[in-house]
Chains A and B, each alone.
Chain A
Amino acid sequence: MSRRIRNFLLLAPAGAWFLVMLVLPLAVVIIFSFGERGPAGGYVPAFTLAQYANLPARWAAFRNTMMLAPTGTVAALVIAYPLAYFLAVRVSARWKMTLLVLVIVPFWTSILIRSYAWIFLLGGRGIPALLDLIGISDLRLINTPFAVLVGIVYGYLPLMVFPIYVSLDRLDKRLLEAAADLGARPWAAFVQITLPMSIPGIATGCMLVFILLMGEYLIPALLGGGKVFFVGNALVDLFLQSRNWAFGSAVAATLVIVMLVTVSIYMRLMARLGNGRDDVSLM
């Protein structure tokens, strides 16, 4: 078998998948975005830029998303990094697997059910009731941006923990000994060795969480009480409530573009940070 045929056969399944699951839907979205909404909703073929001209009507949703995604990513990173560090560096090999499984276990249940757990915990009879016992009363947690952030950090934690864990676990402990040997205090060794060496994991985790957060709608709807409105929520409303597929497609296409632009800026930034290092892969 020639190399060319073999390469084709190897790539064909992924290529087909890519075409069917990514390119075609995206093409449909782009075609729809130049159409019009039918009188009873749905899509009527047309070629108009009216939907794009109407984009400012969802400016607030985009603004909120562009604030939520980085904030949520950073918050997830801040919580996930120490956890990943603990798992990779501090925990003995015997307990590692058990603890790692515990990190994933919540992923086995639907995010909906887990969010309901948080609705209860953050609701009046949950944590605020406990705080009331120690004299902190009238604290509102549920349906606040804070609750949304908690939900996001919780929901996306494993996605952030895993790549960081992997990069920290791969880190040669002898490098830290070498750093200590050369006079680096533990914190200095962390900053100069551990942290830079875990950048691939951080980059991957942030990328995953950031992209998913750009389309997030469920957690804001459930834990934000529907008062916090993101592009994802706008899309759900446009497709499922007002059935304005044309405008919904324009919003979706714009979201994809915003995502691509953000991600490429991010990649370039990472590349500069990595600066030709072969140990730092971007994804």
Chain B
Amino acid sequence: MTKDIDYISKQKFMEELYRYKKGSVTRRHFLNVTGLGTASAVLGAAVPLLRAGPAFAGDIGDRVVLATWPNYHDPANFDAFTELTGAAVQVNVFGSNEEMLAKLQAGATGWDVFVPTNYTITTYVGEDLIEPLDTALLPNYDPTAYNPRFAEAGSVDGKLYAVPKDWGTTGYVVNTDHTGGVVMDSWKQFWDMARAEFSGRGMVHDYQLTTIGNALKYFGYSFNSVDTTELADAEKLLIDVKPHLFAISSDYQPSMRSGDAWMSMAWTGDGKQLNTDMPEIVYVLGKEGGEIWSDYYAVPKGAPHREAAYALINFLLDPAVNAKEVLFHGYPTADAHTNALLPESLLNDPILYPAEELLSPLEFGAAVTLTDPNRAELMARFKSA
């Protein structure tokens, strides 16, 4: 889907290394699983452009610092922003929301804009780490152009704290060469196959939110359940399946590509990449539901270049700019203005833009789901079982 991700020869191990090296990984990738995300790289320490007078209305300073995920923005857009405003964009990439939260809690990040995922926003508000957005400074933000479910998650108690960037789903990928014609469409099938025909071939995320959430879906419970009896059911299922799993890992692309794994929980981006390169691998959304997620732009409390922060968000929300962003990172956007500029083929792609009846049962992950200690302990028991 994206131009920069180009698997020419998938068999080659070197490709995988290359892929790792250039950071062309989806978020929540093994960087965070392995804990190496903490060593986040500062990608674009910018040299401020010395230009004769800013072309932008008002001087916003010479830089703006953005905390985001790997390979999530078109660098050409940043160049254009700098050209326009005189402010260079400095990018810090992260491996996990938890890591971002930890950094902000520790204070003095120097960030101006960051990219939180839906379920963390209430936490940031609760911890008083995030600033309510002044929509007057974001003329390109048109709430009416968004599906309300995306726009709503950016607001807490009626106050807007974050504007949608792009979104995605959590389903699973399955290699149809091994299904013998069976069409998979549910989480029930996923878990049952994993301990039967696909024993030793299935993978689940090393991520409490999705692994437990999708196990809950087997029973038809909410993805976000923190109910102890429901969690007990999920635990039983997980412990039952564990001996049959190929791996518990969020880095499932290499194993799916090599053929070692036949089925894995997957996020939109990985599903799309795998399907593009190996059409026999399909991306499935469970008909029982599951997760839908969205990333947002937000401004942390005490951003050193507040004006530049607004300028950058506003710039990236410009439908023409945003369309370029989508073409680069390959995730769908909820902004109708942007979608109007995207090619038909993209909008009709069943992985990026699934049918409405598949989307409607999906749930946004809740903050409490992520922070619930019982779910964390359940995950630990599952992993050490």
Contacts and interface: CB of A to CB of B under 8 A. Distances in A.
Nearest to B200: A140
Interface in A1-20: none
Interface string A44-67: 000000000000011011001000
Max chain B Cβ within 10 angstroms of own Cβ: one of A39, A217, A242: A242
A221 B33 CA distance: 8
A226 B373 contact: no
Given A39-B371, A41-B101, A123 B258 contact: yes
A57 B380 contact: yes
Contact of A234 (B36, B260, B384): B384
B192 interface: no
A116 B17 contact: yes
Given A39-B126, A41-B101, A226 B247 contact: yes
Max chain A Cβ within 10 angstroms of own Cβ: one of B13, B260, B385: B260
Interface in B231-278: 242, 245-249, 254-255, 258-260
A249 interface: no
Given A240-B96, A240-B99, A241-B376, A42 B105 contact: yes
Nearest to A62: B384
Contacts of B383: 226-227, 229, 233, 237
A240 B37 contact: yes
Q: How large is the interface on B (under 10, 10 to 19, 20 to 34, 35 or more residues)?
A: 35 or more
Given A42-B102, A240-B98, A143 B246 contact: yes
Nearest to B127: A40
A125 B33 contact: no
Contacts of A70: none
Interface string A229-251: 10001101111111110000000
Max chain B Cβ within 10 angstroms of own Cβ: one of A58, A60, A113, A227: A227
Interface string A21-47: 000000000000000010111100000
A234 B381 CA distance: 10
B32 interface: yes
A120 B13 contact: yes
Interface residues of A, number: 41
Contacts of B371: 39-41, 242-243
Interface in A50-106: 57-58, 60-61, 64
A143 B376 contact: no
A241 B98 contact: yes
B206 interface: yes
A191 B381 CA distance: 46
A125 B258 contact: yes
B35 interface: yes
A242 B105 contact: no
15 contacts: A40-B371, A41-B98, A60-B384, A61-B380, A112-B36, A113-B20, A117-B13, A120-B16, A120-B258, A125-B260, A225-B245, A226-B383, A240-B37, A240-B38, A243-B371
Interface of A: 37, 39-42, 57-58, 60-61, 64, 112-113, 116-117, 119-120, 123-125, 140, 142-143, 217-218, 221-222, 225-227, 229, 233-234, 236-244
Interface of B: 11, 13, 16-17, 20, 30, 32-38, 96, 98-99, 101-102, 105, 123, 126-127, 200, 203, 206-208, 242, 245-249, 254-255, 258-260, 367, 371, 373, 375-377, 379-381, 383-385
